[in-house]
Structure 1
């Protein structure tokens, strides 16, 4: 089973769609093994987005991510990284399809409402930034055979 990191950004709170976003991951069969609501520090946001430092959108991205609470979570499932990225939709709102979280709810690329790890390496790095090993709740999913 693959693990991935997902962050629902301040826009999900502003739009009142936290439950809608969470339910899309659950309905796909992904298992939530860690979940917490957080007010992030600038240090954590800058570490999380370090690869983008120096790019034209970096400062606005940091500012937006700090503008309200976020939901940080770890999801687990077969090919979880690919599944989550498909459910989230393209980063560029002009490329989003209806039925994806970004396609249905994101109005502006710079105010992207969900972050999803793009590789196993990114997932591992991001998980370690946001969660301690003891915060993971590993559990047996009795419905796993149906997904």
Structure 2
């Protein structure tokens, strides 16, 4: 089934100039990029975006991090896009992510892991 999924290249990957390499991997894995925009998230938008984590201990740190610099927001499309993207991203903790996944290649830990991906449509 053709699906769309939201992807965010996080501030660490943008700052380290890894976004081009990440986009290259996305395209080589047959995702269609329907929309792409580089933005600076406001604190208010970040709070709305990560509302599901509001009660978690790491919430304030997450908001500070995601608003610390520009991000690249994309809408990707392909067959089973959500699971395909989650597989390509790898484990949340970059130190445990499988070899060759985006988080393994471009992340450093559980927070600065290069990319965000939605787990639902």
**Class of the TM-score when normalised by the shorter of the 2 chains:** over 0.9
Does the 8 Å CA contact 1:8/1:114 hold for their aligned counterparts?
yes
Give the conservation status (yes or no) of the 8 Å contact 1:57–1:110.
no
Deviation at 1:110, TM superposition (A): 1.9
| Count of aligned positions | 120
Structure-1-length-normalised TM-score: 0.78
Partner in structure 1 of residue 7 of structure 2: 6
1:81 corresponds to 2:70: no
Query: Where does structure 1 differ by over 6 angstroms across 4 or more consecutive aligned residues?
Result: none
- For 1:92 and 1:45, the matched residues in 2 are separated by 21
The residue aligned with 1:136 is none
Larger radius of gyration: 1
Deviations 1:27-61 (A, max 9, x none): 01000001000011111100110000121111111
Which structure has more helix as a fraction of its residues?
A: 1
* 1:67 match: secondary structure: coil
Partner of 1:106: 107
Q: Unaligned regions of 5+ residues in structure 2, if any?
A: none
Residue 93 of structure 1 deviates from its aligned partner by 2.5
CA shift, 1:98, in A, is: 1.4
Match of 2:39 in 1: 38
2:119 corresponds to: 118
1:58-97 correspondence to structure 2 within 5 Å: 58-97=59-98
1:84 CA displacement: 0.7
Higher strand share: 2
Give the Cα separation in 1 of the matches to 2:40 and 2:15.
14
Q: TM-score, normalised by structure 2?
A: 0.95
Deviation at 1:94, TM superposition (A): 3.5
Contact 1:8 1:70 in 2 (8 A): yes
For the aligned residue pairs, the C-alpha RMSD in angstroms reads 1.0
